[in-house]
Structure 1
């Protein structure tokens, strides 16, 4: 089997899986409709991008459709950025201003009108054969690389902020879903960085190396799509969204410093702290696996803003870790209880408010320095 046939097979499999997953995302009934649609669009754009071996096998030469197809790459990262926003924030909605993300795509196509889209086939062939000297293609490649850098920086900032907001306001599911999305973004960043190198070599004397890298990227795309499909099937509920209107504690602290009248006395601070601790020990609200800082605020009648500053800033703990401390202490007492020696660790973790073994083990080891199993054995 020659190289061209192999690439056609790889491209065909990748496109089939991408389209299949996109159709599933578009048809499945879920409350995460916007997220599903955005990722389906991302998969379709990816399928369009990797169909070169199939497309050029059918096209006799350069064409407007072929060039237009290549320009869809300018939509991939913006769509992925919007997807990340939609899975991180529960109140995310597509708005007219999001159409601004389409501007690079429009600009790049407009630059190609005079000397490619609007000329005959012979001129198109000349344009492609001399692509290394064509200012339009150089401009488009520079714009693409600048776009990649800006959007990936924006995505990592969104992930960092949403993860921090979750830790400061929620004590439910583990943050493994955010870690997974971070990993997926890092892998995409690596892939696009390799693509950047490929594009640079495309305008040098090492065009043959550029083609080899292109073949490798095609194969890598197949593995990434399969990996995502595996994750999606095994973890259908990957994310727990946060409210984008929430403020980071660092922002609240800055606002407090600018407002001298909001300073809290030691007596008031100690009174609120005592109220909070009494509530946690007496009501045992930490047993609620989906507990939020808003829930606690309503019960002890301390405004969310003040409670957030109390826990996340003055106590020096994220709300997530603060609640887990009570859960772990309760779990330790159960592990010490001889009458519960036959109760499994899995049963204990669910009883104290955790909803996954991995998050329980991580929190337990962070609190005690050992695993639940070893802790029970060493008693």
Structure 2
């Protein structure tokens, strides 16, 4: 057995183990939340692509009928990630009929490959002889390859926008979002964009006759396996922390969308100006006297319960009078308290992380980011230079 065959068989073995583990984890959480179905389909697609690729490389004559079978499915990868993130931002737990539109590129790709699928075995073997060459990979398929890269990259960028929308809504309800902001999902998407960038470069290097195109092809195959593992880890983590807070993200549901498309928040609110001013004063007094911001996992619901006011009224006052969302509002108080502790000699032995935890932040990074955003310098620089 040559080194090339050994590489592909090793990749097949490792990918199989990763696939079984990933599928088991995803199916387990799928029973609780149906929104993970797109990820299950994506993992299956990635695994089948690796399997077909390995089998064709190791047993070309016996597996020639598998050549190009998985090509149309590459048109679905970005779309499935987009549908998954859309499910989070819209709190949807299942496929919608409108999602069927994402099948159009997939169907068109199948139609474009039909002439090849009906070839005889001898004709496919002849085609296999040029598989991986300039003519087969670039000369005949350059338009398709570019379309696949552009299409999937567009879906991934759209998925990032969905995550951004989801995070904005989190900040209207939670004071700490690090464990539920889908940051791991963003990293998976960034890695996917990186893979497509590599593939794009690979296409044109092959076009220019780059001698190491086969090595790059192996790198792309390994990257598919790594994405599969990343998807599993991401789903497990995001599911663990997000399943309890999805129902709390409808704070600002009383909105009106005008014919021009402009969204007006609180258009249906029953809170008049006099009542909102009283609520603002009541909120400020409570924040100063009770210091609820010291609770790391403080939610706007907790604050509304303590003040005995409707949650959407509290959100409206924070947005309109302080020009902040709940996340920013609470962290302003935490940063102000942290500044006081950093200048207090009684806390001179505290580490910066300890100061952050003392005022309600639940991680070092959250404390540093909020402090730098509010004050303009890091906590260390603030302490060392004695800012007031």
Same fold (TM over 0.5): yes
CA contact (8 A) 1:328 1:364 kept: yes
CA offset digits 1:66-88 (Å, max 9, x no partner): 32223322222222222333455
Using structure 2 for the length normalisation, give the TM-score: 0.73
- The equivalent residue for 1:144 is 148
1:185 matches 2:189:
yes
- The equivalent residue for 1:102 is 103
* CA apart distance, 1:155: 0.9
Aligned pairs for 1:210-249 (under 5 A) are 210-224=213-227, 237=240, 239=242, 242=246
- The equivalent residue for 2:379 is 371
CA contact (8 A) 2:294 2:358 kept: yes
- The equivalent residue for 1:159 is 163
- The equivalent residue for 2:209 is 206
CA offset digits 1:157-206 (Å, max 9, x no partner): 1122112222233213327844433232122101012223434566x463
2:199 to 189, 195, 199: 195
1:355 matches 2:355:
no
- The equivalent residue for 1:317 is 324
CA contact (8 A) 1:327 1:353 kept: yes
CA offset digits 1:40-75 (Å, max 9, x no partner): 432332222233133331241674433222332222
**CA 1:91–1:302 in 2, change beyond 3 Å: closer, same or farther?**
farther
**CA 1:119–1:222 in 2, change beyond 3 Å: closer, same or farther?**
closer
- CA distance in 2 between counterparts of 1:306 and 1:185 reads 36
**CA 1:111–1:120 in 2, change beyond 3 Å: closer, same or farther?**
same
- CA distance in 1 between counterparts of 2:138 and 2:380 reads 65
Q: What number of residue pairs does the alignment pair up?
A: 375
- CA distance in 2 between counterparts of 1:310 and 1:230 reads 39
- CA distance in 2 between counterparts of 1:133 and 1:194 reads 15
- The equivalent residue for 2:284 is 277
1:25 matches 2:25:
yes
* CA apart distance, 1:4: 1.1
- CA distance in 2 between counterparts of 1:261 and 1:291 reads 24
- CA distance in 1 between counterparts of 2:113 and 2:226 reads 33
**CA 1:132–1:258 in 2, change beyond 3 Å: closer, same or farther?**
same
Instruction: Identify the range of structure 1 (316-325 vs 9-18) with the bigger mean alpha-carbon deviation.
Output: 9-18
Q: CA RMSD in A?
A: 4.6
CA contact (8 A) 1:38 1:83 kept: yes
**CA 1:246–1:42 in 2, change beyond 3 Å: closer, same or farther?**
farther
Using structure 1 for the length normalisation, give the TM-score: 0.75
* CA apart distance, 1:125: 4.4
CA contact (8 A) 1:173 1:355 kept: no
- CA distance in 2 between counterparts of 1:88 and 1:21 reads 27
- The equivalent residue for 1:171 is 175
- CA distance in 2 between counterparts of 1:29 and 1:229 reads 11
Secondary structure, counterpart of 1:71 in structure 2: helix
* CA apart distance, 1:371: 2.9
- The equivalent residue for 1:81 is 82
* CA apart distance, 1:322: 0.8
- The equivalent residue for 2:4 is 4
- CA distance in 2 between counterparts of 1:360 and 1:342 reads 18
**CA 1:134–1:250 in 2, change beyond 3 Å: closer, same or farther?**
farther
CA contact (8 A) 2:280 2:321 kept: no
- The equivalent residue for 2:43 is 43
Structure 1, gaps ≥5 residues long: none
